[in-house]
Amino acid sequence: MSFQSGISHTGKRRLSRARKLFLYIFLSIFLLTAVILVSPLLFSDSRRPQLPPPIDPRRVQDQDEMTWADYRPLPGKNWGDPSLKPERGFKLAVVAVDFPDQPFVITRPKGSDPFGNPQIDPIRREQVPQFYADFFTKPTPHNRGLNIHHYWMEVSRGKFGLTQVDSYGPYRMPKPYWWYGLNEYGQNKFTPDGSVAAGRLEEDCDRLWIEDVGRDLRKEYDAILRIYAGYDETGVWMEFGIMKFKSKDDIPPEWGNPNPEMPRWVPTRYVEWTSWLAGSQQWGLSSMRQGENSGTIAHEVGHFAFRLSDLNNNPYVQPYRRAAVGPWDLMDRGCFNGPGGPHMRWVVPPVAGAACPPHLMIRNRIACGFIKEGELLTLSREGLAGSGLVVAEVTAREVDPLPETYTGIVVRLDGSDPGDRTPPDDPAVNPLSPGIPNYNFYSVEVVQRIGFDSFCPDSGVLIAKNKDNLRGNNGGPNAFNSYIWVIDAHPEDINQVDYISPSGEKVMRTIADYRQLNDALFHAGQDSGSSYEYRDEPNRLHFYVVDLHKNTDGILSYTIAVRSLDGSGPHRRSVELRAASPALKARREVIPVTFRIKNTGQLAETEKKLHQSDVKKHINYDLYRLNLKVEGKGWLARLPNALAAVPFGQEKEITVHVLPEQNCSRSVSITLTAVSESDPEVKAQAETKISL
């Protein structure tokens, strides 16, 4: 027998088995450790049981982030259908003019001009008048079917639209474009030839038109849209001025005055300077003098057809004054709504910012006669003290009210001391001041991001104070017209970047920027990121967003409640609350715990003429504020809604969601309390227990 290594074959086999056993044990321990360490990553919070999300979360989308993918057509009726005829027609003449030194942008090769336009293949000069007439008033491949006729038909529900659109031109103006563009905001002496610019486009344009046609047609139309070659300065002064160049001394020759002896900058409306090329363009006016990048034609029709006033402030001058309405109405900066927001209004043709303006708010819809009788629930501030709480359903403003609902609620600020009782504050000190407190009524409406409201920044409930008079400024420094004043659910600074300067610095939006009102809407339920109530102490009113609903077409409606702080009516208030089951056995998952709340009060007779509208069915309620108490370690609980509106004699189910966490106690006590908003002395409490 020979020994080669001192280890027998049997010993080698035993050693091999030992090594395999050791390796098996080592790998088992390693894998077990890895599972323990990695399992929190593998089984993240998203896989664990989660409490249900809020019932109405705020979803604010900034204008800069919007694209055409955000457009949602209205369900059902297409108000842009050319076969639909409005009840009231509007006749529009479109007259197109260019200049010896400025051809129509739309006639140039795609993307060839200094501003990067046009965005489409060129149109022949002789086709320009008809191109823009169609673009602004008919569905075309370029405007995605959205035009001013479509807008007004949708907003008015067919009451108003364009019935005749005629195009004229093109005409060549007798003077250079800058002769007409440098006649405002201190620009007059910045001409290339040293003259003082004093041109008025309307005069020369109309003279050419009359000479061509052979007679004066102006009185045969409700309005004249004078489209001129080039740009509205309002859409380019910022983007091709302070956003493009570090200072006025950094403007290169191609953006400056053709005369090298002259400055390359010019003053402009809101700030000290912009590039000469941008500032020498005309500022679009409500005379409907509009450049090829203008997307605010629907806004201008609001002036001509209905005498609606502007609502916009100056967001760049100090002391700052908060915007009145912002993105929520056509007559404020909402006319800038569209893909990309306000900094995309230089595009030709105008298919970005300002391409899809919002609907009109209740005040302007009243002024236009667009609200049918019975669609508004009109209440009296004084009457609310006598009638008690009022509860009603309000449908999204983009469509007709759903059955048993309204398009909005109005509360008149009447009484022995009529008008707005808000103490005046100094707008020179408080930029959020509405100025002179001379408002006459509140309005409550619902905004949903569909149709022409698709480019509003949020869906929810819009509350505003309104004036009977559509004119008159709000007093103080930098005053402006504010016959509507939106109540901001988030009055604090939105703290958003406006743009990145050419130096790479973040330039924040001023407190006066209209986009500060992007998060103004109120929302139902708890943890929405917004508020579900608004209390006006001086005017003795309390508004509540009680609940929300969606029908089968996805149309939003909200339950709204309003009460006076000075009285709750003659009704007897009482409430009962009980747990649907006295105790529950549960597993480690979300547990729905049900309570039932009953309005055991009694409706009393009230005077019939307390309010302008019949409110008999709307005062048959009490509103309860709910509060949840959890006694038990490691148990999560969510009460989706802190408000419950319950008719007299009826009951409602309230569901609380409960979730046991790791290492929680074996049992938990859940207590729900309900307190009447009409009479805080009226309350009830119910308790239930859960055990694992």
User: pLDDT (tens digit, 9 = 90+) per residue, 531-584?
Assistant: 999 999 999 999 999 999 999 999 999 999 999 999 999 999 999 999 987 667
Give residue 28's pLDDT band: very low, low, confident or very high (50, 70, 90). Answer: low
Q: What percentage of the chain carries pLDDT values higher than 90?
A: 88
Peptide bond connecting 170 to the previous residue in cis, omega within 30 degrees of 0: yes
The pLDDT tens digits for 287-330 are: 899 999 999 999 999 999 999 999 999 999 999 999 999 999 99
For residue 48, the model assigns a pLDDT of 73
Alpha helix positions (H), 399-512: none
The percentage of the chain sitting over the pLDDT mark of 70, rounded to a whole number, equals: 93
Q: At residue 370, what is the residue type?
A: F
Residue 38: what residue type? V
CA-to-CA distance for 597 and 651, rounded, in angstroms? Answer: 5
What is the DSSP secondary structure assignment for residue 110, as one 8-state letter?
T
Q: Where in the chain are the domains?
A: 1-48, 89-306, 363-564, 575-691
Kindly give, in sequence order, each residue whose CB lies less than 8 Å from that of residue 317, ignoring residues fewer than 6 positions away: 270, 478
Strand partners, 481: 473
Are the CB atoms for 390 and 615 separated by under 8 Å? yes
For residue 221, what are the CA distances in angstroms to 147, 200, 216, 391? 19, 21, 11, 46
- Kindly report the length of the chain: 692
Could you give the C-alpha distances from 452 to 255, 358, 401, 480, 556, in angstroms and in order? Answer: 36, 5, 17, 26, 15
Distance CA 283, CA 511 (A): 25
Contact at 8 Å (CB) between 570 and 389?
Answer: no
Give me the pLDDT at residue 10, please: 43
Q: What is the DSSP string of 366-395?
A: HHHT-SPTTSEEEEEHHHHHHH--EEEEEE
Give dist(CA 640, CA 595) in Å, integer: 13
Quick: pLDDT tens for 376-394: 999 999 999 999 999 999 9
> How many CB atoms within 10 Å of residue 271?
13
pLDDT for 11 equals 45
305: phi then psi, degrees, rounded to nearest 5: -85, -30
pLDDT digits (tens, 9 = 90+) for 170-180: 999 999 999 99
Mean pLDDT within 421-426 = 95
Tell me which CATH code domain 575-691 carries.
Answer: 2.60.40.2310
CA-CA distance, 162 to 144, in Å (whole number)? 18
- pLDDT at 588 (0 to 100): 76
456 Cβ partners below 8 Å, 6+ apart? 327, 328, 334, 337, 358, 447, 449
HEC readout, 399-411 = CCCCCCCECEEEE
The candidate with the shortest Cα–Cα distance to 95, out of 6, 218, 264, 225, is 225
Region 67-77 average pLDDT: 96
The yes-or-no verdict on residue 107 having pLDDT over 90 is: yes
Query: Mind listing the pLDDT tens digit for each residue in 643-691?
Result: 999 999 999 999 999 999 888 999 999 999 999 999 999 999 999 999 8
CB atoms within 10 A of CB 227: 29
Average pLDDT, the chain: 93
E-strand ranges in 600-634 read: 621-631
DSSP secondary structure code for residue 622 in this structure: E
Give the C-alpha separation, 391 to 599, whole Å.
14
Whether the Cβ atoms of residue 298 and residue 152 lie closer than 8 Å to each other: yes
Hey, is 508 helix, strand or coil?
strand
Q: Tell me, what DSSP letter sits at residue 594?
A: E
Residue type, 132: Y
Phi-psi map region of 556: left, alpha, beta (phi>0 left; psi -120 to 50 alpha): beta
Give the pLDDT of residue 587: 74
